[in-house]
Structure formats: C-alpha cells, structure tokens
Chain A
Amino acid sequence: MKAMYLKKAELGKLISSVQDSGALFVGPVVDAGNVVYKEIGSASELTGDYIIPVTTYKQWVFPQTEVVATFAVTKEGVDLDGVDLDPPDVVVFGARACEAASLASLRSVFTWGEDDEFYTRREDRITVITVGCTAIDDECFCTTVELSPASTTGSDIYLRETTDDEYMAVAVTKKGEAFIKAHHGVFHQKRAAEPELVELKLPEPIKGIKKEKISAWLARTDNYQSELWPRLTRKCFGCGACTFSCPTCHCFDITDEGTAFGGERRKNWDACQFDHFTAHASGHNPRDTQFKRWRNRFMCKFKYYPDKFKTTGCVGCGRCIRVCPVRLDITEVMEEISQISE
C-alpha cells in the first residue's frame, strides 16, 4: 500500500469516522497539567504538544481492573459466572514508536503456554497509530535499547508529520491497511509535490551502555548477590510508579471484591515493587527488602523478558525515570553494569 496523507485539520473527520464505526478513539489529552491517553469525543481535546504521555495505553489491552468472574453465595451453594469478554474496537492515535513495540512483549507473557484471552481479545481489537517523534527529552533512551522513533514494530499505521501540517501515513500491518481502507474518505493520496517531512528527533544512544554486556553480567547467578544492587537502589521506597507507567510491566493480583453473599473476582494491576507482592502468609518474604524488589524489576526487563519470552523488556520510553519521585534512573544502573561487565 502506498503512503497516504491525512490533513491535521481533518483529524476531527477521522475521529467521527472511527466513532461512527463503533470504535473508541483514544489519544493524548492534557489532564491536570499532564498529557495522558484518554478516550476522546472530538479533535479539540487532542494535544500535539507532548514528548510521550505520562501513562501508557496498555490500559486498553490490560485494564487496571477487570472482572473475570462474578459469584453469588446462596444457601444452596455458589452461583459462579465467568465473564465472556467482547471488547470494543479501540483506535489509539498518537502513540510513540517505543511503546508500540511493547505490545509484542505483553503478548508474549499473556500467551506463554495458555492464552489469557482477557488480554488477547483486547489486543486483537486495538489499532495503534504511531506518530514519529519530532521532539525528545533527556529521559528518552529508545536508541540505547535498539529501537528508534522510526521503528514501526507494533504499530499498525505509522505517521510522519509534514511541514505543511499533514501526516504521511504508512500502513505497517494488515490491520492498518484495513483501517485506512475503512476510513478512505479521510485519507488522500494525491500530492502536487513530494511533501517535506518534519525531521525525526533521535536521542543520542548512551555510550556507556551495552545491552549484551548487561545480559552477560546478569546471566552470572553470583552477580545476583552483588553489592551494586543495594548501593544503587537504596533511595527507592517502593511506590511502584515505575511499574504502573511502564508499557511492558504485566504483573497483576487476583482478588475478590464484594460481600459474603456475592461479588466479583477481579484482575488488578499489581507491582513487584510492593513489599507484600511476594510475602507468604507465613510472614516469610523472599524479596523482603526494597533492593531485592528493584533487582527483580531490572532482571525482568533485561533477562527474563529477552530469555524467556524472546521479547524486549525495556523499550526506552523513559517513563520510569520521569515519574520516579527519588529520581532513580534505570539507565545509570544499566551503565554501571555495562562498565563492570567483563
């Protein structure tokens, strides 16, 4: 499929067209001073002035809370009903290349062995429209983890801004092609002259970081006891903001909410940074101090994801650095490990 064009001024038409088809339109919106992804009604709510939203759009594939079953306890026993999920179509507009790459990572966990259809059914119905970055900040490090604003992995449609206030749209997947076809009235093909594209901004790769050196160092089980872990992560107090803002973090809790007579069983986001996450009922906790919990998160990103699920654990979006209240920078740990690794 050839590149198509979309006028920024006609985004409203695209939104109406998407909404007419019954799908939700999600995009970056300013909310209480932060840019976040939200379901929107009209183009005026969208903002184009952002590096990356504070929150991820993973909540549309893996909601923060989700009912998996309902139950009622009666004298005769228990009435139990599983949820038969029929999720809406969702269009995410204005995603960034880094987090688009994260859907493959989430999928690899949720389909490891058995499929978690609460995830797969939602992901099957999502269309990701990425806009190439024309601005970056000091926290962006996608190029250090082998991605870039030009990466199309995980995007269904990849957009580049043009100097005359349009987007050049390239369908990356079949789903993207079908989307452009379905909303063909909004996209146009004809151009008088080849458009000039606004240049992509790429963060400089952090020189001291070498991914293969990190994985080699992590592979040595004795390094799990390294003094580096408590030393570099001492200031972490376990708020969990990094995990909730991370596009690849997948941990959840299963809890019952309701009364003794009935209620719901839910999947809720959880975080390996919380002290009770791994606490046994007996009181024993294998990750009883914060550095062990932080170490687990780092290992998960740079060892377990790549080795076990063959996908990337960190896409370099920099959210965990931006939201951290104590400014614990994951790239500093990556850098030190790269330096000491043989």
Chain B
Amino acid sequence: MENLYLPKLVTIEDAYLETPDVKSFRLVFKDEALRESFTFKTGQFGLYSAFGLGESTFCISNAPTRKGYIQCTFRKTGRVTGGLFDLSIGDTMGFRGPFGNHFPIDEWKGKDITFIAGGIGLPPVRSVILNCLDRREDFGDITIVYGSRCVEDLVYKNELQHWNDRDDVALYQTVDPGGETPDWKGEVGFVPMILEKAAPKPKNSIAVICGPPIMIKFSLSVLEELGFSDNDVYTTLENKMKCGVGKCGRCNVGDIYICKEGPVYTAAEIKKMYYDF
C-alpha cells in the first residue's frame, strides 16, 4: 500500500551547531538505492521526524546540484524541534518529501539575483544561492544581504566567509544595532536599510527574500522604491503543516494550500491572496 504518511529513514551524517539554538544536519537515506535516486528542486521542503515526538516541516537547505544527501537547519522551538536538537551524528531520523513547488531558477538565466534574508530565513535562501553559485555562469550579478539580531545569531558562518571571499558575489552582512561585537567587520543596521545601501538594479533582475514578516514588509517597500516589479520578487511562505500533501487542512492561506501550491510565490501572487497571515 502507498502510505503517504510513512517516512523514509535517514541517518545523521553530520551535525553542526550554528547558534546556541540553531542546528544543521546532513542526512543520508539508509536505503542506498534511494540515496542514489532522490532528487528535489530548490525551494522544496520536507517533514522531519523525531520518533516518539512527531514531525516538523523545514526546507531542504542544500542545492539539488549537490546530490546524495539532504541538509536542513532548524531552531529549537517546540517539542519536535527540541527532540531533533537532541539528536546527533549517527542517530536515525525520519524524512518525508520533497514536497511543494520550487524557485523557477531556469527562468532566471542571464538575470541579476539579489538574495535578502534575515535570521533563520537564510536556510531556504541558501538552497537557491548554492544552486545559482553551482551554475554561476548562468546568472548576472549576485548580491546577498543577510542580517540577524546579533553576531551570534548568524547562521552558516563558514559559508558566509566563503561567499565573502568570492569576487563574483557581493555579500552584505549586517546585525541589528546593538548586536555587533567589538571585532564585527560587517554592517550594523536593519536588513531593509542595508538593502537600500546595496541598491541592486531592478532591470533584468530577480529578488529572493525570506525572513521575519517585519523584515519582509520593509524590504518589499525598499524593492518597490528601487523599481522592482512584484513579479520579480520571490519568497517562500511557511505555515504549520502536518501532512505535507494537501489533506490535513491547516497550512492554507485563504484558498491556497502552501504545502501543495506553494511554498514559493511572487510578491504579486501574495498581494492577491486572502489576508490570512
């Protein structure tokens, strides 16, 4: 029987503590055939099981161009993420997915891309960034604006360093005023302000944005002022999910089921939705 709710078993191959309450896992399927055949598209998500506690939804944060494993990053917040947080290398988890739609990066060939992320909003954007970097010649200028409340809360610190070192990526790292440390070399200020400073050109250009609602709200205004069309601004929505396949009835924003019809939408599409955020 085709059991939609039966997870696949995965082993935690690597675990990394990003911040005091954010962890990243690198997962591989126990089933070797599945390890080979598993594919996904950038922007899709999965449901991760801590057996005995339940399932939680997060994006797949690596890029489909890097095969053989799944990466995820999550903050310890509730019961399930607390349980997952306690797991470590060699432990077994469950995975269901990939689910949802994806960022249409094939349509972005030749365009400049600006990534805007705040806090734990970077993991879904990272999947797109890695995908674009792995196909670097397909795209124009790549700009990344990433900020968090304080230096300690920045995720993927090693990777940020790597992006910073590349001369084909413009990286703006920032922390909220008061969140800087004495040796902080990046910007100080809220993400929308830094985005204004980075001032990406709107022509033939795409923006990908993910972060807390307040950051998204003000960054969208900045993008609008810069001249970006709502059709060129992409984000990924999230809501509480249980099934991931459009049956359990809770992730809908008005008539849109994020798990099946999302989670990736343009700002233009979001403006047409029932206001159910």
Residues of chain A having any CB pair with chain B under 8 Å: 68-69, 71, 73, 77-78, 80, 82-85, 109-110, 112-118, 121, 221, 224-225, 250-256, 258-263, 265, 267, 270, 272, 277-282, 284, 286-287, 292, 296, 299-300, 303-304, 307-308
Interface assignment of B245: CB less than 8 Å from any CB of chain A: yes
Q: Are A68 and B3 in contact (CB under 8 A)?
A: yes
Contact with A along B262-277 (1 / 0, CB 8 A): 0000000000111111
Least distance between A62 CB and chain B CB atoms (Å): 10
Q: Are B51 and A256 in contact (CB under 8 A)?
A: yes
Which of chain B's residues have a CB closer than 8 A to the CB of A110?
A: 247
Least distance between A124 CB and chain B CB atoms (Å): 12
Please report the C-alpha to C-alpha distance between residue A224 and residue B255 in the assembled complex, in whole angstroms.
11
Which of chain A's residues have a CB closer than 8 A to the CB of B78?
A: 281
Q: Are B2 and A113 in contact (CB under 8 A)?
A: no
Q: Are A307 and B5 in contact (CB under 8 A)?
A: no
Q: Are B248 and A80 in contact (CB under 8 A)?
A: no
Which of chain B's residues have a CB closer than 8 A to the CB of A260?
A: 52
Complex partner residue of B51 from A71, A253, A270, CB under 8 angstroms: A71
Least distance between B75 CB and chain A CB atoms (Å): 8
Interface assignment of B114: CB less than 8 Å from any CB of chain A: no
Q: Are B9 and A256 in contact (CB under 8 A)?
A: no
Which of chain B's residues have a CB closer than 8 A to the CB of A83?
A: 1, 3
Q: Are A254 and B248 in contact (CB under 8 A)?
A: yes
Complex partner residue of A221 from B242, B243, B272, CB under 8 angstroms: B272
Q: A117-B3, A308-B255 are in contact. Are A78 and B247 (CB under 8 A)?
A: no
Q: Are A286 and B276 in contact (CB under 8 A)?
A: yes
Which of chain B's residues have a CB closer than 8 A to the CB of A115?
A: 2, 4
Which residue in chain B gives the minimum CB-CB distance to A243? B249
Least distance between B189 CB and chain A CB atoms (Å): 24
Which of chain B's residues have a CB closer than 8 A to the CB of A254?
A: 5, 54-55, 242-243, 248
Interface assignment of B202: CB less than 8 Å from any CB of chain A: no
Q: Are B247 and A80 in contact (CB under 8 A)?
A: no
Q: A85, A114, A282 — which one has the most chain B CB atoms within 10 A of its CB?
A: A114
Q: Are B272 and A282 in contact (CB under 8 A)?
A: no
Q: Are B276 and A113 in contact (CB under 8 A)?
A: no
Within 8 A of A (CB), among B49-93: 49, 51-56, 77-78, 81, 92
Q: Are A304 and B255 in contact (CB under 8 A)?
A: yes
Q: Are A251 and B3 in contact (CB under 8 A)?
A: no
Q: Are B94 and A80 in contact (CB under 8 A)?
A: yes
Q: Are B247 and A109 in contact (CB under 8 A)?
A: yes
Q: Are B4 and A114 in contact (CB under 8 A)?
A: yes
Q: A68-B6, A280-B240 are in contact. Are A251 and B276 (CB under 8 A)?
A: no
Which of chain A's residues have a CB closer than 8 A to the CB of B51?
A: 71, 73, 78, 80, 256, 263
Which of chain A's residues have a CB closer than 8 A to the CB of B9?
A: 77-78, 80
Q: Are A267 and B5 in contact (CB under 8 A)?
A: yes
Interface assignment of B111: CB less than 8 Å from any CB of chain A: no
Which of chain A's residues have a CB closer than 8 A to the CB of B11?
A: 77
Please report the C-alpha to C-alpha distance between residue A296 and residue B257 in the assembled complex, in whole angstroms.
13
Q: Are B254 and A221 in contact (CB under 8 A)?
A: yes
7 new A-B contacts, CB < 8 A, other than A254-B248, A256-B54, A281-B56, are A80-B6, A80-B51, A117-B2, A262-B52, A263-B51, A281-B77, A299-B254
Please report the C-alpha to C-alpha distance between residue A114 and residue B254 in the assembled complex, in whole angstroms.
21
Interface assignment of B260: CB less than 8 Å from any CB of chain A: yes
Q: A251-B250, A280-B240 are in contact. Are A82 and B1 (CB under 8 A)?
A: yes
Please report the C-alpha to C-alpha distance between residue A114 and residue B1 in the assembled complex, in whole angstroms.
13
Contacts across chains A and B counted by CB atoms under 8 Å: 142
Interface assignment of B221: CB less than 8 Å from any CB of chain A: no
Least distance between B274 CB and chain A CB atoms (Å): 4
Least distance between A115 CB and chain B CB atoms (Å): 7
Interface assignment of B7: CB less than 8 Å from any CB of chain A: yes
Which of chain A's residues have a CB closer than 8 A to the CB of B216?
A: none
Please report the C-alpha to C-alpha distance between residue A225 and residue B11 in the assembled complex, in whole angstroms.
46
Interface assignment of B204: CB less than 8 Å from any CB of chain A: no
Please report the C-alpha to C-alpha distance between residue A118 and residue B250 in the assembled complex, in whole angstroms.
19
Interface assignment of B170: CB less than 8 Å from any CB of chain A: no
Within 8 A of A (CB), among B202-222: 213
Which residue in chain A gives the minimum CB-CB distance to B81? A281
Please report the C-alpha to C-alpha distance between residue A261 and residue B53 in the assembled complex, in whole angstroms.
11
| 21 pairs from A and B in contact (CB 8 Å cutoff) | A68-B5, A80-B6, A80-B7, A83-B1, A113-B245, A113-B246, A117-B1, A121-B1, A221-B272, A256-B52, A258-B52, A270-B242, A272-B250, A277-B240, A278-B239, A281-B56, A281-B81, A281-B240, A286-B276, A286-B277, A303-B255
Please report the C-alpha to C-alpha distance between residue A215 and residue B207 in the assembled complex, in whole angstroms.
35
Within 8 A of A (CB), among B1-49: 1-7, 9, 11, 30, 49
Which of chain A's residues have a CB closer than 8 A to the CB of B275?
A: 221, 224-225
Q: Are A280 and B239 in contact (CB under 8 A)?
A: yes
Please report the C-alpha to C-alpha distance between residue A7 and residue B43 in the assembled complex, in whole angstroms.
62
Which of chain B's residues have a CB closer than 8 A to the CB of A267?
A: 5
Q: Are A73 and B276 in contact (CB under 8 A)?
A: no
Which of chain A's residues have a CB closer than 8 A to the CB of B56?
A: 281
Which residue in chain A gives the minimum CB-CB distance to B79? A281
Contact with A along B83-122 (1 / 0, CB 8 A): 0000000001010000000000000000000000000000
Interface assignment of B174: CB less than 8 Å from any CB of chain A: no
